Amino acid sequence: MNNYYNTLFPYAYNILGSADEAYDAIQDVLLKYSQKDSVPDNEKNYLIRGVINQSINRKRSIQKTESLDALPQPVSTSYSDVSVEIKDLVSFSLLILLEKLTPKERAVFILKEAFAYSHDEICEVLSISSDNARKLLSRAKAKLNQRHSTLKKVSGEQFIKLEVFTQALQSGNLEQLHQLFHKDIEFRADGGDSIKVVQKYLKGLREVASLVVDVYQRFQTSYTIRYRFINHQPAILYYDNTVLKVCQVFELHPEDQTIRSINSILDPVKLRKI
């Protein structure tokens, strides 16, 4: 049964936005399946369907109590770091956008866009009509406002941009940061229940530049910096000796390659899967 984890994980994770919750959802489905007396004709498809629906139900419960400022749990997509089928994991920025959707809208969108399911296949998995599936997909795309179409998987060349960012950060060069940032750059930080962050959300070129320099100078000067792909996006990992303290995931504008968003995860619980 454990052989199915790698196949099932992207379905659960893309719907839940949490690796921990995804593994719990998969475990629940596999446990129930192990207690069945009969075996379905297509075991793999049966389990995928079960995990998708279990993830939708878990997401409904999570949304009732989860903070609106919470960021997804990051997953390394550097090929040397993971064994799951990473090509099917959606980008970190898209996971943030998907929080605008209901769990069922999110599932329909992910099945269509990430897994290339047909409308008939989506209907079969979710036990809904074709008309309902089309309406859910249309509503999902309207809520995302086409932003998702600009979120492309990146190349290693974008690490050069992060190296320049790091140099400007370490020297406190605000002017250089202004040149690197998109005019409408957004900054988000999630410390969970245990870490108090300086600012949860901020927007604006000058405001974000001043904030990241202030945070670096106050808390991060002694940290070791490493570069990594997180959910197919370039990221900076800050280590205190061997302990990961901060994961910063960057989104670059597709046209001018300016930094469009910085997402800082400090929650130790969310960092433990990297």
CATH (residue range 2-150): 1.20.140.160
Name the percent of the chain lying above pLDDT 70.
92
- The predicted pLDDT at position 40 comes to 80
Burial 179-193 (b: 16+ CB within 10 A, else e): ebbbeebbbbbbbbe
Rg of the chain (C-alpha set): 20
Given a cut of 70, whether residue 227 has pLDDT beyond it is yes
pTM, to two decimals: 0.92
Instruction: Give the residue with greater pLDDT, 242 vs 159.
Output: 242
Burial 219-251 (b: 16+ CB within 10 A, else e): ebeebebebbbbbbbbbbbbeeeeebbbbbbbb
Q: What count of Cα atoms within 13 Å lies in the side-chain half-sphere of residue 254? A: 8
CATH of domain 156-271: 3.10.450.50
Residues 109-143 have pLDDT tens digits of 999 999 999 999 999 999 999 999 999 999 999 99
How far is the C-alpha of 172 from the C-alpha of 176, rounded, in Å? 9
Identical fold for domains 2-150 and 156-271, yes or no, is no
What average pLDDT does this structure show over 49-72?
Answer: 92
**pLDDT, position 34:** 86
Locate the domains of the chain by residue range. 2-150, 156-271
> Where residue 221 falls among pLDDT bands split at 50, 70, 90?
very high
pLDDT-derived band of residue 225, with 50, 70 and 90 as boundaries? very high
The pLDDT value recorded for residue 153 is: 55
Q: What sign for the dihedral angle of Cα 19, 25, 28, 29?
A: negative
pLDDT, averaged across the chain:
91
Mean pLDDT within 207-235:
96
Q: What is the pLDDT of residue 87?
A: 81
Residue 84 has pLDDT above 60, yes or no: no
Whole-angstrom distance, CA of residue 45 vs CA of residue 51: 10
Tens of pLDDT, residues 102-114? 999 999 999 999 9
